[in-house]
Structure 1
Amino acid sequence: MSGQALETREALGARLRGFRKDAGFSSGRAFAAAIGWQESKVSRIENGKQNASEEDIRSWCQTTGRDADLPDLVAMVRHIEEMWVEWRRILKQGAEGRQKSGLHVYRKAQFFRIWDPAVIWGTFQTAEYAEAVFQQVVRLYEIPDDAEAATAKRLERQQYLYRGNRKFDVILGEQALYSNFGGPEVMKGQLDRLMTLIRLARVNAGIVPRSAPLQVWQGNSFSMFDDKLVLVETYSAELTVTQPGEIETYAKTFALLKQSAVYGGEVRDMIWAAFQHFDRMPQQER
């Protein structure tokens, strides 16, 4: 969970603890008995260790006589949920919907800062590479197999590489050139596509070599849209960051990653070396 989400959850817990004490429940045990919960649940919520549901908040406010505070607290709970959304819920109907919903972010943004230590950025992906990625998504989350439709929707992002005055500052880890999605032929096609895209005037592409001195640990991939939104992907969830202080942290992290990246001819040399690597690799059996 992000720092902002955790802080908000802890603040909510502290406020609920105050309600409990003001209502005359000096201990969590007495309050748990009154509300009909396990004492451990009361403790976890008050200490920010567990998310409180909207129904939990309603019960808490009713038991402590703080019904007037219910709308404000429910808003806090919803805000926490918005900052941390489980992938399984996002992908419930398949991967296409998530790709479609992301297009409005691309339409609005003008300055993109992208970091991925191990995968080619989605907007740079070929159809074959993207479909191989989505097949892994389908298998991991056991969702409906709409990899082909999700790929088509992802490819729609590429129109924004050529529209308006958008700028793209993209940093990849060297591993992204070698992470094998789809086999040697797919990877060679992807690397060829990458070589073309980095020549676009609006694209500033860097690669962090695997032995480069690091100014900050590499961590998760993230995408920054202007100075308004950061999306962070993990195996279990997508984190949406909108709080200015946290966005500033990601901007600083991106700047530190840039200090370890190489650009220009060195990037082209690294892509070509990866292409040769896959060219020497035996073709996979289908």
Structure 2
Amino acid sequence: MSTDYQQARSALGSRLREMRTACPEGRLTGTQLAERLGWTQSKVSKLENGRQTATADDLRLWSVATGQPETYDELHARLRGFESHIRSWRRQLASGHQPVQDTWNELVAEASVIHEWEPTMVSGMLQTADYARHVFLRYSELQNSVRDTEAAVRSRLKRQEWLYRPGKRLRVLLWEAALRTLICPPSVLAAQLDRLAGLIGMDTVELGIVPLGAPVKVPPANGFFIFDDRLAITEDWHAELWLDDTYTISTYRRVWQALNESAVFGADAQRVLAEARRNLNIR
């Protein structure tokens, strides 16, 4: 967990403790507040000490129980402030994958230029329905989340309408490994590669492929998106990271540019795709 995130969570905990001790009707102990809320005393302690992330409902109940309901908006703003940077998959996927995809649709709709690096699988912006279906199924199994696969696929495909709007530009780099990873049956991957080949030359899409044998200036590590130089998003197994400070975004742009120098485009990219497809041994 990042230092900034933990500091923000601890600061929120200190504010909750302050509200408990400054209760208008008299100071409440942690035990008294827990009884009033119907919680365990340990939950109150963890929230106040920054060892547990409050939910919006937790904050609403806390503000009412301490006789200070007018503070809820402030508390909620604090929560949104630091949760916008680290978004755990456990929380995001509580209602399934579709709500996550809908949030991404809103982000993409606001963007004019998107830079993306994807080392492990085909970009969601370019996926076929069958390929996306297998991706969601794998993640549902991993995260033990709600299986709303078809709704998630529909939402992801709707996002791709952005590619056909004037003035939009997707600059995506794929590592060749992403073209060969069998997260789906070979026949599905073959169709996905055909889809990529058909996108080369599209005026709103710049597709570059970094061949496996290409020299690179930086390690081809985790994937990321950059939205108009205002927001970078990357992810790990536990969470999605939303990064909006200028220095961090510029770092991701430098990484993207370094990888872009190792990529091939146009006819050369077509050849890499064709070779990956031939290796599937599917007519």
TM-score of the alignment, normalized to the shorter chain, above 0.5 = yes
Distance 1:79 1:51, change over 3 A: farther
Aligned residue among 129, 132, 135 for 1:133: 135
Residue 188 (structure 1) shift: 0.7
- Tell me: CA distance 1:51–1:82, structure 2 relative to 1, closer, same or farther (3 Å): farther
Aligned pairs for 1:242-261 (under 5 A) are 242-261=244-263
| 8 A contact 2:129–2:153 mirrored in 1 | yes
2:159 match: 157
Q: By how many angstroms is 1:195 displaced?
A: 0.3
Could you tell me which residue of structure 2 aligns to residue 177 of structure 1? 179
- C-alpha displacement at 1:280, in angstroms? 5.2
CA contact (8 A) 1:206 1:258 kept: yes
Structure 1 pair 201/92, CA: closer, same or farther in 2 (3 Å)?
Answer: same
Given candidates 201, 211, 214, the residue that maps to 2:213 is 211
- Matched-pair contact (CA < 8 Å) for 2:176–2:209: yes
Query: Which residue of 255, 267, 270 maps to 1:268?
Result: 270
Partner of 1:64: none
Name 1:85's counterpart in structure 2: 87
Counterpart contact for 2:229–2:249, Cα < 8 Å: yes
Distance in structure 1 (CA, Å) of the matches to 2:192 and 2:252: 28
> In 1, distance between residues paired with 2:211 and 2:164?
28
- Give the deviation of 1:176 after TM superposition: 0.5
Local SS of the residue matching 2:193: helix
Letter of the structure 2 residue corresponding to residue 211 of structure 1: G
Q: CA deviation at 1:81?
A: 2.1
- Residues 75-84 or 111-120, more deviating: 75-84
| Distance of aligned partners of 1:266 and 1:51 in 2 relative to their CA distance in 1, 3 Å threshold | farther
Q: Say if 1:71 and 1:119 are closer, same or farther in 2 by CA, change over 3 A.
A: same
Separation (CA, whole Å) in 1 of partners of 2:95 and 2:140:
11
Q: Which residue of 2 aligns with 1:7?
A: 4
8 Å contact kept, 1:188–1:279:
no
CA distance in 2, matches of 1:134, 1:15: 34
Between the aligned partners of 1:160 and 1:153, the Cα distance in structure 2 is: 12
How many angstroms apart in 1 are the aligned matches of 2:154 and 2:9?
42
Separation in 2, partners of 1:154, 1:200:
20
Q: CA deviation at 1:141?
A: 1.3
SS in 1 for 2:115: strand
- Residues 99 and 11 of structure 1: is their aligned pair in 2 closer, same or farther, counting only changes over 3 Å? closer
Q: For 1:82 and 1:212, how far apart are their aligned partners in 2?
A: 36
CA distance in 1 between counterparts of 2:99 and 2:77 reads 26
Preserved CA contact (<8 Å) 2:12 2:75: no
Q: Does the 8 Å contact 2:9/2:82 carry over to 1?
A: no
Cross-structure match for 2:169:
167
- Following TM superposition, by how much is the alpha carbon of 1:13 offset from its aligned partner in structure 2, in angstroms? 6.0
Does the aligned pair in 1 maintain the 2:224–2:233 contact within 8 Å?
yes
Q: What is the alpha-carbon root mean square deviation over aligned residues? A: 3.6
Letter in 1 for 2:260: K
Q: Unpaired runs of 5+ in structure 2?
A: 15-28, 32-40, 63-71
1:63-78, aligned counterparts within 5 Å? 76=78, 78=80
Corresponding letter in the other structure for 2:212: R
In the other structure, the counterpart of 2:225 is: 223
Q: Specify the alignment match of 2:149 in structure 1.
A: 147
- Aligned length, in residue pairs: 258
Give the secondary-structure state (helix, strand or coil) at the position aligned to 2:264. coil
Q: Describe the superposition over 1:80-129 as per-residue Cα deviations: whole angstroms up to 9, x where unpaired.
A: 22210111111111111111121111111000101110110001000110
Partner of 1:186: 188
SS in 2 for 1:199: coil
Q: How much has 1:35 moved relative to structure 2?
A: 7.8
* Structure 2 equivalent of residue 96 of structure 1: 98
Does the 8 Å contact 1:110/1:167 carry over to 2? yes
The separation in 2 between residues aligned to 1:35 and 1:143, in whole angstroms, is 34
Tell me the amino acid that sits aligned with residue 216 of structure 2. Answer: L
Cα separation, 1, equivalents of 2:52 and 2:280? 46
Residues 176-215 of structure 1 deviation map (CA, whole Å, 9 limit, x = unaligned): 0001132111011000000011220221111112222221
Partner letter of residue 143 of structure 2?
Y
